[in-house]
Amino acid sequence: MQKMFINGEWVEAISGMTRNIINPYNQKIIATAAEGNEQDAKRAIASAREAFDNKEWAFIPAIERGAVVQRIASLIERDRHELAELESLDTGKTVEESLGDMDDIAGVFRYFAEMAGKDGGAIIDSPIPNSMSRVVHEPVGVCGQITPWNYPLLQASWKLAPALAAGNTLVMKPSEITPLTSVKVFELMAEAGIPAGVVNLVLGPGDSVGAELSENAEVDLISFTGGIHTGKKIMQAASSNVKNLALELGGKNPNIVFADADFDTAVDQAMNAVFFHAGQICSAGTRLLVEESIHDDLVEALVERVKNIKLGSGFDASTQMGPLISKEHLSKVVEYVENGKKEGVTVAVGGGRPEEPELQNGFFYLPTVLVNCTTDMRVVQEEGFGPVVTVEKFTTEEEAIRLANDSIYGLSGGVFTNDIAKAERCVAKMRMGTVWINDVNLYFPQAPWGGYKQSGIGRELGKSGLEEYQETKHIFQNLKPEPMNWF
């Protein structure tokens, strides 16, 4: 049984309810997890509040907090294989991808551990005679953290590591369908020596546990990664006590290929952009914009390669793409492509479920390329979150940028060209939080991550990733106090 971690103890749900956790490759039950609700969330929030108010964690020297966060990184490295296998069981992604995630995750803990003691504040040049003015950073307080199912532990690490490094206490709610690695990392955090009550884990659904975290007035900050519709609900709920708010939402990310780009690299990266983890990536390059003069050749080359993508179990070393996360999500992707067909797209490859008998118990969908697409189509505008790329043509640089920006989202985008001046002109006009030139989907702890427009609010990772978990206090001291006699 996967239990919840509240006030330093492993506990079942107050209601006694549980949920079966399903392997998306074969629909077998891989674990049973406690299914918490509002009551469990309230208990965890009270524990985090008490731990924050007694200031044990917030007031220890930052360098010591950093050392504990470093220990968490070492424990993740020690248990890298076990964690990667749990992640692949839970999500269906290949173990190779999950091992890469675990390395990234350890790197995130190390990055924020090192930042913990680096910034002691600043002295301000006060304009008032006989005074001293300085700025210090303090933790925000109790943080609610809500994560999605597609990168369960990676997205958790982007929240846990900076929150701890900055001296906060927290309650995390992972996606109810992929809790396994989050449970394991809470075991590791306890082993690393985090005091009781500082980190709390509540398992369960969004509309009860998640909603309580978003509304509860004892929570000072809510950090959410997930879909746009949930993000809007959380933003509303967070207004209850004007919580600090961080939202990492979806994307519908354009990938522009100019005729002067390296052709083979552009084809290869167009695939990497959208077929890793079966397209279930917020920054997936789902909108391929190709200069008209190379459009037909590029589509032909892409289709030839996409036909050979090997689907299967994430535990089979020859597998290149695993299943989608759930039956419900598969239905959504099917509906999304079927609707695209009604809108007039042509399926160049894929466009349905695979026929191999050994894949029938998994939630598989074929890697799919759709052509004859236009920006006004739903299939081009909505985040389908599957292995589906839409291809549009453009003839000028201006048109490419206009198409790229024609979205409510602004998470990420790519530009492929050998003309650096052209690349820089495009980048300057692309309204996205991350833009890659001649590459796709790269992220690392040192660089901020987040979205323009409806892709979110705030930034994770980088210096700003720590600042999200800090309040800034200005301290002014009068060095020569004497009556003013104004009144």
Ligand X SMILES: C[N+](C)(C)CC=O
176 binds, among ligand X, ligand NAD, none (CB under 5 to 8 A by kind): ligand NAD
Cβ proximity to ligand X: between 194 and 282 the closer is 282
Q: Which of 45, 154, 270, 289 binds ligand X (CB under 6 A)?
A: 154
Looking at residues 145 to 164 of the shown chain, list those that interact with ligand NAD (rule: CB under 6 A): 146-151, 155
102 binds ligand X (CB under 6 A): no
Instruction: Assess whether 248 carries a catalytic annotation.
Output: yes
**Residue 32 Cβ, how far from ligand NAD at the closest point, in Å?**
18
Q: Which does 443 bind (CB under 5 to 8 A by kind): ligand NAD, ligand X, none?
A: ligand X
As to burial, measured by CB atoms within 10 angstroms (0-12 exposed, 13-18 middle, 19+ buried), residue 17 is: middle
Question: Of the residues 248, 291, 383, 468, which is catalytic?
Answer: 248
CA separation for the pair 18, 37 (Å, rounded)? 11
Nearer to ligand NAD, 282 or 415 (CB): 282
Binding string to ligand NAD for residues 409 to 428, with x set by CB under 6 A, is what? --x-----------------
Q: Is 150 near ligand X (CB under 6 A)? A: yes
Residue 209: DSSP 8-state: I
5: Cβ contacts below 8 Å, ≥ 6 apart: 11, 183, 186, 190, 199, 200, 201
Q: Per the structure block, which two tokens stand in for 17?
A: 């309810």
390, 299 Cβ separation under 8 angstroms = no
Name 126's Cβ contacts closer than 8 Å, sequence gap at least 6.
132, 133, 476
Judged by CB under 6 A, the number of residues near ligand X is 7
CA distances to 37, 103, 206, 325 from 157, rounded to whole Å, are 23, 11, 19, 21
Report the Cα–Cα distance between both ends of the chain, in Å, rounded.
69
Identity at 278, one-letter amino acid code: A
400 touching ligand X, by CB under 6 A: no
The one among 40, 176, 392, 468 contacting ligand NAD by CB under 6 A: 176
Q: Is position 151 an interface residue for ligand X (rule: CB under 6 A)?
A: yes
Q: Which residues contact 428 (CB under 8 A, 6 or more apart)?
A: none
Neighbour order of strands in the sheet with 142-146: 9-11, 4-6, 199-201, 169-173, 142-146, 221-225, 244-248, 456-457
User: What's the CA gap between 393 and 127, in Å, rounded?
Assistant: 58
Q: In whole angstroms, how close is the CB of 165 to ligand NAD at the nearest point?
A: 19
Task: Please report, as residue ranges, which positions from 437 to 476 form the binding site for ligand X (by CB under 6 A).
Answer: 443
- Residue 249 in contact with ligand NAD, rule: CB under 6 A: yes
Is there binding between residue 230 and ligand NAD (CB under 6 A)?
Answer: yes
Query: What is the SS3 assignment for 401?
Result: helix
Residue 154's binding partner among ligand NAD, ligand X, none (Cβ under 5 to 8 angstroms by kind) is: ligand X
Asked if residue 208 binds ligand NAD (CB under 6 A), the reply is no
Interface residue list for ligand NAD (CB under 6 A): 146-151, 155, 173, 175-176, 205-207, 210-211, 214, 225-227, 230, 233-234, 248-251, 282, 383, 385, 411, 451, 456
Active site positions, annotated: 248
**Where does this chain bind ligand X (CB under 6 A)?**
150-151, 154, 281-283, 443
